[in-house]
């Protein structure tokens, strides 16, 4: 089967293919623009996510430090009377030793 095309038919086909190619090139350019916008948006969202994670980490550290501080101060408050009593006993013992040394009952060197 032999197909003969006239020059006009060939020029018409060429023009149609050129128009189709140009439309595809415009579509590709539009898709590239959308891709670039999506990548930019993704980077912005990742940055915001990282900043939020950092803030959560700071809040967590602050909360942990606060809880530790409160437990430490609670512990110090609870141990305060015990420490004071222990210091008082130590002072009384030292006083008794000094009194005994002064009175001559015990000689300390």
pLDDT digits (tens, 9 = 90+) for 35-74: 999 999 999 999 999 998 888 888 887 777 666 666 666 5
pLDDT of 105: 58
**What is the 3 state secondary structure string of the chain?**
CCCCCCHHHHHHHHHHHHHHHHHHHHHHHHHHHHHHHHHHHHHHHHHHHHHHHHHHHHHHHHHHHHHHHHHHHHHHHHHHHHHHHHHHHHHHHHHHHHHHHHHCCCCCC
pTM of the model: 0.47
Task: List pLDDT tens digits, range 23-39.
Answer: 999 999 999 999 999 99
Contact 69, 63 (CB under 8 A): no
How far is the C-alpha of 14 from the C-alpha of 20, rounded, in Å?
A: 10
| Count of CA atoms in the C-beta half-sphere (13 A) of 16 | 6
Output the six-digit token pair for 49.
């996510």
Here the tokens at position 107 are: 């000689």
């Amino acid at each position: 089967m032999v197909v003969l095309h006239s020059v006009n038919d060939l020029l018409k086909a060429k023009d149609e293919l050129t128009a189709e190619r140009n439309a595809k090139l415009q579509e590709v350019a539009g898709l590239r623009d959308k891709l670039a916008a999506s990548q930019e948006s993704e980077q912005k969202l990742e940055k915001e996510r990282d900043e939020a994670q950092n803030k959560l980490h700071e809040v967590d550290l602050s909360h942990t430090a606060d809880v530790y501080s409160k437990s430490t101060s609670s512990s110090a408050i609870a141990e305060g009377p015990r420490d004071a009593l222990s210091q008082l006993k130590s002072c009384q013992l030292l006083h008794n030793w000094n009194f005994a040394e002064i009175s001559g009952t015990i000689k300390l060197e």
